[in-house]
Structure 1
Amino acid sequence: MTPANSWLLFFQSGLIGLSIAAPVGPIGLLTIQRTLDAGWRAGLATGMGAAVADTVYGAVGAFGATALIAWLVGAKTWLAVFGGLVLLRLAWSGWRQSAGDDARAVPAPVPSAWTCFATTFALTLSNPMTIVSFIAIFGAMSAQVAGGSPLVMVAGVFAGSALWWLVLSVAVGRLRHSFRPAWRRAINRASALLLAGFALWQWVGLLTPMLH
């Protein structure tokens, strides 16, 4: 594979990583929330957990690990259940934190950078749609790009995903001091409700095929 083709493959894979990371979902909400609460470093650590998880699934798809792919697809129900529980736990924590000025509330501490990373890493790995997306996309790319290096594809996915989380956390971090405490509480409460909604939607998606 020529250097020009390698760079093209890297760029295409970067766009895949960017396109999967960019849509606003539970990870995006957590990144914004934690950036507003603790600064851009906490937000970046949150996003990087998702970027590394995306890279793991990108490697599975790029290298065509057949046995592991079959296991992941077979375990997606339990992974979705686990992911929903994590989302509900994060939603409850965010709701408690949003009520920090309420005398009856117990303020939730801001998690460490490692906790921010680990929670989104586990959450992204447990998302069945992430599994299916990377298997389908990289399976198609491997068929189209003869002799394409899986390492180039994996590196591109990481670069694209990491770039998105860096831009998002830095941008929100620059604006965080413009938000009044009341606005931050409102954002935290809205994020908590949306995270809970994502968890329920994920579980409903599991139940729907069983009802037909």
Structure 2
Amino acid sequence: MLILILSTIIKAIAIGILVSAPMGPVGILCVKRTLHKGRGEGFMTGIGATISDFVYASITYLGVGFVTSFINDHEDVFTILGSVLLIGFAFYLYRSRTDYNVKDQKEDNNQLNYPKTIASSFLLTFSNPLIIFFFIALYARFNIVPEYTSPILGYLLVMICIIIGALLWWYIVTKLVDKLKDNISVMGLRWFNRIIAIIFALVGLIGIISTCFSLAINVPFR
């Protein structure tokens, strides 16, 4: 049980990081606010995005939880499907263009309003319900819905760790942007996205290869 819990913690933190990592509209907004208004404003942007991710993560987890036994019985199939979806997303992310054209409500550097910052980034993130499919792919790839004695404890463990992973990511991003603010460029952000895309593709490929290898080992020889 301890190994299962530790494995779930690591996987859930990884999901929190992977969901937050793509440099989409919210990521660009976080960078802009960090550059123009300071690290605190950038991190509050990340918190707003994390709250939205938590909502969608919960919806997806609870929905998947209703068919936990079915998923566990077909774990290999779901792992491969999730891996394929991740590779598809990686291809899309690698090809996507990145720029600074993300609307911010105010550009006044002297007036900080953290609740408004959190609310605006929450709404921007929440306006993209397609993230549910991203969570489905990640849950399937990592088999993140194990059968605990208490489903509620399992849910709380996963959600808390996803939040930790997301906040850890936004902390790192704002820290790096604050340190390297004189060297941030659109081309740099694009290459950052491409590196993230390659990581997604590798995660997906590893999932497919490991699952196929496992299936090959379990095939009885005649």
TM-score of the superposition, structure 2-length normalised? 0.57
The share of aligned pairs that are identical, in percent, is: 26
Q: CA RMSD in A?
A: 3.3
Q: Is the 8 A contact 2:14 2:165 kept in 1?
A: yes
1:155 to 152, 160, 169: 160
1:164 to 141, 162, 169: 169
1:112 corresponding residue in structure 2: 113
- C-alpha distance after superposition, 1:1-54 (max 9, x if no partner): x22211210110111111110111111110110001111100000011111211
Pick which of 107-116 and 35-44 moved more.
Answer: 107-116
In structure 2, the CA distance between the partners of 1:131 and 1:143, relative to structure 1 (3 Å rule), is: closer
2:134 corresponding residue in structure 1: 133
Q: Is the 8 A contact 1:35 1:169 kept in 2?
A: yes
In structure 2, the CA distance between the partners of 1:144 and 1:152, relative to structure 1 (3 Å rule), is: closer
Q: How many residues align?
A: 149
- Structure 2 CA distance, aligned partners of 1:143 and 1:166? 24
Q: How does 1:47-196 map to 2 (within 5 A)?
A: 47-64=46-63, 91=103, 97=107, 111-138=112-139, 145-147=146-148, 149-176=154-181, 178=182
> Which residue identity is paired with 2:127?
S
After TM superposition, where is structure 1 displaced by more than 4 Å over at least 4 residues in a row? 107-111, 139-144
1:76 corresponding residue in structure 2: none
In structure 2, the CA distance between the partners of 1:144 and 1:153, relative to structure 1 (3 Å rule), is: closer
The alignment partner of 2:130 has SS state of helix
Q: Can you give the 5+ residue segments of structure 2 that lack an aligned partner in the other structure?
A: 66-100, 190-222
In structure 2, the CA distance between the partners of 1:11 and 1:92, relative to structure 1 (3 Å rule), is: closer
In structure 2, the CA distance between the partners of 1:28 and 1:173, relative to structure 1 (3 Å rule), is: same
**Greater per-residue helix proportion:** 1
- Structure 2 CA distance, aligned partners of 1:116 and 1:61? 26
Q: CA deviation at 1:61?
A: 1.7
TM-score of the superposition, structure 1-length normalised? 0.59
Q: CA deviation at 1:93?
A: 5.0
